Structure 1
Amino acid sequence: MTQAGPPDPTDIVEISTDGACLGNPGPGGWGAVLRYRQHEKRISGSDPATTNNKMELTGAIEGLAALRKPSTVILYTDSSYVRNGITKWVAGWQRNGWKTADKKPVKNADLWRRLIEEEKRHEVTWKWVKGHSGDHFNEIADELATTAARQIAEGSR
């Protein structure tokens, strides 16, 4: 399925991700826009009962999982939770047996583990963008996520 070998640093894939939840918890959706050279792919999905943080994580996981071979990736997220989690907190959680600094179980540990596995396949640079601020691809990812959440809430997905 995936091809072995290191990513080609001259070929950069950009991925913009977002998550949405109608109520928190509630019906949720995630979206990702993948861009490579002149190609663009939009993907999304939903969950009938979830949280916003789970959908934010799932958007990043599914965006990376959609890549067929190891890649150099710039991943844009408007979630400080996702960006800080993967770049700052996860190493400590792993050292502490998936416990927080105050010895409580890490929330969404299953999704964090999946994100770590997807990230290992690639060279990922994590970028935070302000949500709802006019970033074109963040707005598209937000629309994908919101539409998916609405569709699952209405029973049409």
Structure 2
Amino acid sequence: MTITAAADGSALGNPGPAGWAWYVNDGCWRAGGWPHGTNNQGELMAVLDLFRSTKHLAAEDLHILCDSQYVINSVTKWMPGWKRKGWRKSDGKPVLNVELLKEIDRELSGRKYTFEWVRGHAGHELNEAADDRARAAATAYQQGVAARQGPGFGAAAEDPAPAGQTAHPAAQAAPDRSGQQELFGEPDLFSEPDLFSELADDVAASQGTDSSPEAIVEALERELLLPETRADMGRTGVLLHPDFTEIGSSGRIWTRDAIMMALEGNPDRPIELELLAADRVSEGTVLLTYRSYARSGTALRSSLWVLDGAQWRLRFHQGTPED
């Protein structure tokens, strides 16, 4: 069986507000972006997230439709040589977008995949669908509104394929999530494939079972305020839920991808936390409210943590500057 998906990126201004997306069918796609990035970064991120999102289907062949010769050549031709040279080009200059390329290189291990170049904006159904979603994500960041992230692979089993397409094999192979909990009546918040699931298993074991949920969540919140944690994309990827959203103290809406990349590049100084309350909303949900102290002043903050399997993860955060 072969998974066929289109991957595409978009940047308004290049660089500028940027988006990425991969698309299998209307019930199986995913998108994201950043406030500032390039088209190539969007193209690479779409491919990276496609590999991560299909990790549970690693035995399947992955056929990637891509309109970027840069991405195809980087992954299939140039990357082995760059690695041998310490991620430098033949002229000795550093490879651009090296962190994204390193992540893709890690995801390739054990996978069966092929790339096919398709001409962009030429009416190819899957490519056009991915392009539309990547551009919509970039536009959302330009306008300061939340970007649609898509159902990922989790919802593919319930959605019919578009006219003219057969049902995707991923729909039959997707794990049964019918027994997972709902949060505030929203079905299946945890169906999105996590980008750092292997790390999450290790962290879940380290959290232990002796502490109360409130104590565990408070400790994790304090850890997220440390510069060394914020600069570690692997660790923030474990602590932030795949559907994480933040309404920042500036009024900006952040997605998980955007906040992880922003924190890695600028982790800032330690932030002090004065806990106001830790309320267990439900068995698998804890709401923290606290006052933060930073160089820029104080803010009142709330964080909603949810239990995802055995791992507590931050689902939503909001900050309001204090007068």
TM-score band, normalised by shorter chain? 0.7 to 0.9
Which of 18, 28, 33 is residue 46 of structure 1 equivalent to? 33
Match of 1:19 in 2: 9
Match of 1:139 in 2: 128
* Greater radius of gyration (CA): 2
Which of 59, 63, 84 is residue 50 of structure 2 equivalent to? 63
Residue 120 of structure 1 deviates from its aligned partner by: 1.8
Residue 118 of structure 1 deviates from its aligned partner by: 1.7
Structure 1 portions without partners, runs of 5+: 1-10
Per-residue Cα deviation, 1:100-131 (whole angstroms, up to 9, x for no partner): 00000000110001111222242010111100
Contact 2:18 2:137 in 1 (8 A): yes
Contact 1:21 1:52 in 2 (8 A): yes
Per-residue Cα deviation, 1:127-148 (whole angstroms, up to 9, x for no partner): 1110001110000000000000
Structure 2 portions without partners, runs of 5+: 147-323
Contact 2:24 2:126 in 1 (8 A): no
Could you list the structure 1 runs, at least 4 aligned residues long, displaced by more than 2 angstroms after superposition. none
Contact 2:44 2:71 in 1 (8 A): yes
* 1:43-122 matches, cutoff 5 A: 43-67=30-54, 68-70=56-58, 71-122=60-111
Q: TM-score, normalised to structure 2's length? A: 0.43
Alpha carbons of 1:142 and 1:156: their partners in 2 closer, same or farther (altered >3 Å)?
same
Contact 1:34 1:63 in 2 (8 A): no
Q: TM-score, normalised to structure 1's length? A: 0.88
Query: Residues of 2 paired with 1:150 and 1:50: CA distance?
Result: 12
Residue 69 of structure 1 deviates from its aligned partner by: 2.6
Residue 153 of structure 1 deviates from its aligned partner by: 0.8
Aligned residues: 144
Contact 2:8 2:134 in 1 (8 A): yes
Match of 1:7 in 2: none
The residue identity in structure 2 corresponding to 1:148 is A
Structure with the bigger RCO (C-alpha within 8 Å, sep 6+) is 1
Query: Residues of 2 paired with 1:106 and 1:34: CA distance?
Result: 30
Identity %: 35
Please tell me the root mean square deviation across aligned C-alpha atoms, in Å: 1.3
